[in-house]
């Protein structure tokens, strides 16, 4: 496994976009196909979900090889590395870190030896009973055949638990049997894709917080975070992996079982911002949801203006919907540098001071003298929008009216999205009017929670919207048992026992 020294800085700008994506997972079982290449392109389609590290594990039926490194998928892999990964099963991962630092050791797929072989696992989501799982790992009789883990993420704990189960006589359990024992004990958001030497597995938490879909190839099966990743590798969409479902795929076909009853609470923010517009979740297309959010936003929060522009790219569908419903023309007022964040070079002080211009540049000829409606998908800290308003005024805008296609973000997410701490959220403790003044806008309005939810066409009880209304879809442990550094701090003390190698960094 190669080790990279460079750290990708995808958050170059002061006040850069607030919500950071969840991870992307991809798995394929396809004898006769170049599974590493299929996985590469699947991850390429899921790159927006995580840009810190990428990895692919491949099995040839007798051993699993893992190749992972820090950086974008296209930076981690080349023809040579992909051609070294030969086999018929593959699991891939593009990471954005939510539990565990962004370091090579925490890149995925995670890998563990078992008494019968090995396991490689990729995880999208974030767990809320990490400390409890660390305790279970510490209690394993023969943890990972004695080898100490290097990782400090929640994913490695699940991998260790699946690898280390035994029956009453002390005989090792298969991964399938271990899954039915362990998965009911895992709490939080998890869309898992994993494998041993012979079988591809997938599982989704009972709430189905993060998406996970099943696709069919002529000669095999694919599992992916988003349906858009099926399209890129020529797989046809079959269905979602159901909340609480476990799937195993091998030469005998696909076996499905349940480890928990489904209690659907899909993340509404996937529809607002996270997922690709060309993805469908729970039968609803993301792009159409965003356009509808824009239409409803126009009805709820009209503005007297000459031009609707979007904060590209994520605000564009809602801006199109806003323009359509309001009758105000839509125009491109901002040009986005598509390659921002794809550099290892730190900006100089002069460039840093230019801030948002690294990412967005106004089209002065389009916006000069105009009363603008600027549509964006969300406001987290507000730094980006504040800089944007200033830039648009400098470029000659007569008025700037900000319209947001999601409600104010007031609560943190514990299920795989890293917004900010509650204290950093601009909507926590300020009225909408105060936020608008702080941004320097002529007016500011957000869509209502019901307007956003209705635009998804998903029933309200089946969606998590906790970052907007504080109603979390499951009980949460005490705050000191949550957090990105949980396994890297003293907070791991309850499991800091003789077996603490399971959670200690080397």
- 464 near ligand SF4, judged by CB under 6 A: yes
Residue (of 109, 126, 121, 43) closest to 464 by Cα position: 126
Of 132-140, 158-166, 229-237, 412-420, the segment contacting ligand SF4 by CB under 6 A is 412-420
Active site residue 23: yes
Active-site choice (13, 22, 23, 103): 23
Check whether 467 is labelled as a binding-site residue. Answer: yes
Q: Based on the number of CB atoms within 10 Å of its own CB, is 363 exposed (0-12), middle (13-18) or buried (19 or more)?
A: middle
Q: What is the CA radius of gyration of the chain?
A: 23
Strands 188-195 and 236-240 come out as unpaired
Question: Could you say which of 286, 417, 452, 482 contacts ligand SF4 (CB under 6 A)?
Answer: 417
Residue 345 or 423 having the CB closest to ligand SF4:
423
Count of residues interacting with ligand SF4 (CB under 6 A)? 11
- 269 near ligand SF4, judged by CB under 6 A: yes
Residue 76 or 413 having the CB closest to ligand SF4:
413
Whether 491 contacts 431, CB under 8 Å: no
Whether 133 contacts 127, CB under 8 Å: yes
Residue (of 405, 458, 455) closest to 289 by Cα position: 455
* Residues 474-503 within binding reach of ligand SF4 (CB under 6 A): none
- 466 near ligand SF4, judged by CB under 6 A: yes
CA distance 190 to 22: 11
Whether 408 contacts 427, CB under 8 Å: yes
What's the closest the beta carbon of residue 266 comes to ligand SF4, in angstroms?
Answer: 8
Of 73-81, 137-145, 156-164, 266-274, the segment contacting ligand SF4 by CB under 6 A is 266-274
CA distance 129 to 64: 29
Residue 189 or 298 having the CB closest to ligand SF4:
189
Write each residue from 420 to 449 as x if it is in contact with ligand SF4 (CB under 6 A), else as -, in one continuous string.
Answer: ------------------------------
- 259 near ligand SF4, judged by CB under 6 A: no
Check whether 231 is labelled as a binding-site residue. Answer: no
CA distance 390 to 402: 12
Residue 33 contacts by C-beta under 8 Å, 6 or more apart in sequence? 88, 217, 219, 220
Tokens of 418: 């890293």
How do the residues of the chain divide into helix, strand and coil, expressed in percent and rounded to 5?
A: 35, 25, 45
Residue 326 or 384 having the CB closest to ligand SF4:
384
Check whether 69 is labelled as a binding-site residue. Answer: no
Query: Left, alpha or beta for 473 (phi > 0: left; psi -120 to 50: alpha)?
Result: alpha
- 413 near ligand SF4, judged by CB under 6 A: yes
- 128 near ligand SF4, judged by CB under 6 A: no
Question: Could you say which of 198, 465, 491, 502 contacts ligand SF4 (CB under 6 A)?
Answer: 465
Residues in the chain: 506
What's the closest the beta carbon of residue 209 comes to ligand SF4, in angstroms?
Answer: 5
Q: Annotated binding site for [4Fe-4S] cluster: which residue ranges? A: 267, 413, 464, 467
Interface positions with ligand SF4 (CB under 6 A)? 209, 267-269, 413, 415, 417, 464-467
Q: Which residues are catalytic?
A: 23
Q: Annotated binding site: which residue ranges? A: 267, 314, 376-377, 413, 464, 467
């Amino acid at each position: 496994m190669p080790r990279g020294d460079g750290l990708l800085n995808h958050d170059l700008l002061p006040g850069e976009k607030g919500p950071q994506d969840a991870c992307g997972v991809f798995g394929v079982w396809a004898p006769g196909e170049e599974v590493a290449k299929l996985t590469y392109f699947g991850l390429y389609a899921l790159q927006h979900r995580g840009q810190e590290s990428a990895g692919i594990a491949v099995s040839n039926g007798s051993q699993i090889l893992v190749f992972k490194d820090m950086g974008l998928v296209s930076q981690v892999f080349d023809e040579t590395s992909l051609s070294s990964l030969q086999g018929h099963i593959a699991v891939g991962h593009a990471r954005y870190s939510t539990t565990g630092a962004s370091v090579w050791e925490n890149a995925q797929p995670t890998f563990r030896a078992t008494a019968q072989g090995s396991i490689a696992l990729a995880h999208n989501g974030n767990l809320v009973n990490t400390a409890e799982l660390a305790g279970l790992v510490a209690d394993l009789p023969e943890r990972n055949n004695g080898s100490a883990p290097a990782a400090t993420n929640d994913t490695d704990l699940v991998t260790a638990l699946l690898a280390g189960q035994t029956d009453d006589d002390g005989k090792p359990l298969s991964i399938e049997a271990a899954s039915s024992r362990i998965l009911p004990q895992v709490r939080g958001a998890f869309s898992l894709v994993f494998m041993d030497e012979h079988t591809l597995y997938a599982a989704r938490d009972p709430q189905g917080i993060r998406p996970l879909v099943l696709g069919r190839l002529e000669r095999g099966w694919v599992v992916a975070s988003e349906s858009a990743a099926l399209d890129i590798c020529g797989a046809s969409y079959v269905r979602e992996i159901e909340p609480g479902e476990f799937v195993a795929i091998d030469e005998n076909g696909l076996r499905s079982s349940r480890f928990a009853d489904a209690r659907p609470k899909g993340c509404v923010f996937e529809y607002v911002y996270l997922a690709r517009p060309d993805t469908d979740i729970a039968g609803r297309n993301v792009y159409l949801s965003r356009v509808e959010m824009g239409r409803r936003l126009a009805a709820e929060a009209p503005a007297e203006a000459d031009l609707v522009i979007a904060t590209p790219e994520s605000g564009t569908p809602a801006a199109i919907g806003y323009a359509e419903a309001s009758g105000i023309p839509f125009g491109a007022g901002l040009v986005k540098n598509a390659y921002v964040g794809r550099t290892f070079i730190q900006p100089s002080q002069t460039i840093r001071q230019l801030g948002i211009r690294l990412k967005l540049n106004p089209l002065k000829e389009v916006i000069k003298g105009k009363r603008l409606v600027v549509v964006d998908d969300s406001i987290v800290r507000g730094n980006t929008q504040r800089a944007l308003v200033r830039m648009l005024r400098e470029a000659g805008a007569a008025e700037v009216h900000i319209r947001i296609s999601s409600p104010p973000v007031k609560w943190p997410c514990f299920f795989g999205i890293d917004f900010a701490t509650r204290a950093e959220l601009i909507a926590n403790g300020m009225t909408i009017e105060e936020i608008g003044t702080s941004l320097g806008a002529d007016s500011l309005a957000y869509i209502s929670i019901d307007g956003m939810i209705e635009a998804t066409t998903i029933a309200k009880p089946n969606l998590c919207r906790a970052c907007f209304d504080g109603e979390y879809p499951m009980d949460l442990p005490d705050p000191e048992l949550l957090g990105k550094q949980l396994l890297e701090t003293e907070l791991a003390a309850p499991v800091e026992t003789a077996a603490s190698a399971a959670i200690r960094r080397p």
